[in-house]
Amino acid sequence: MKIKYTVTLLAILSIISFPRNAEAEKGKLSVGLDIGYGWHDFGAKETAQTIANASGQTVTYTYDKATFVGRLFADYGVSEDFLLDLGLFKSGDLDATYTIAGASATEAYSAFGVDAAVVYSPSKMPFFIKGGAHISKIFGDASITIGGTSYAASATATGVGWLAGAGFQGKTGASKNWRAGFTYYGNLGGESGADVGFLFAGYKF
């Protein structure tokens, strides 16, 4: 009888506790911060080759393959397993330097934007996937120095793109506040091919 009583009690507790835990996530608003690195190949090799072809001289170049990215976000639980996610992101600069006899050139790119996504995060599993869209702006600056004289130019591009991502999210205790993942941003600034991969670790408050 004692075993039967214990099993019955555990069954009752499971029926009561699981819905409450799930319900606690529904309607819950969380804010947090994701930080990490973003990768993008903005064609420095191709640019160096273009300069070399036009000048007939050898061009040496260096460029950044990754830069820091920070993202503030807010999540709202719409059901046990689904969240609405809204974020504000900003990248550091990706720089490139080109050197040719008697001249040098630099270019730098950064991005800023707002994103929104639907997140599927199963209540009993430690992972999530998401998909959505962003509106973003790319900032580009370039300069060239020839014979001690410098010339500079800048340009921007603004537009809409898409995003997709996945990661791991803690589910119990203090780990519920931590997550890590990867998000791919397509068409930053509305520009085809201006894609960035964002590897991050995040904390929810």
**Annotated domain spans of the chain:** 27-204
Task: Report pLDDT for 42.
Answer: 81
- What is the tens place of the pLDDT at every residue in 125-167? 999 999 999 999 999 999 999 888 999 999 999 999 999 999 9
Q: Which CATH architecture has domain 27-204?
A: Beta Barrel (2.40)
Q: Is the pLDDT confidence value at 9 over 80? A: no
DSSP line for the chain: -HHHHHHHHHHHHHHHHHHHHHHHHTT-EEEEEEEEEEE----HHHHHHHHHHHHSS--EEEE-SEEEEEEEEEEEESSSSEEEEEEEEEE--EEEEEEETTEEEEEEEEEEEEEEEEEE--TTSSEEEEEEEEEEEEEEEEEEEETTEEEEEEEEEEEEEEEEEEEEE--SGGGGGEEEEEEEEESGGG-TT--EEEEEEEEE-
pLDDT at 25 over 90: no
pLDDT in tens, 44-66: 888 889 888 988 889 999 999 99
Question: What pLDDT, on the 0 to 100 scale, is given for residue 106?
Answer: 95
pLDDT for residue 10 is more than 90: no
The gap from C-alpha 104 to its chain's centroid, in whole angstroms, comes to 32
53 vs 3, more confident: 53
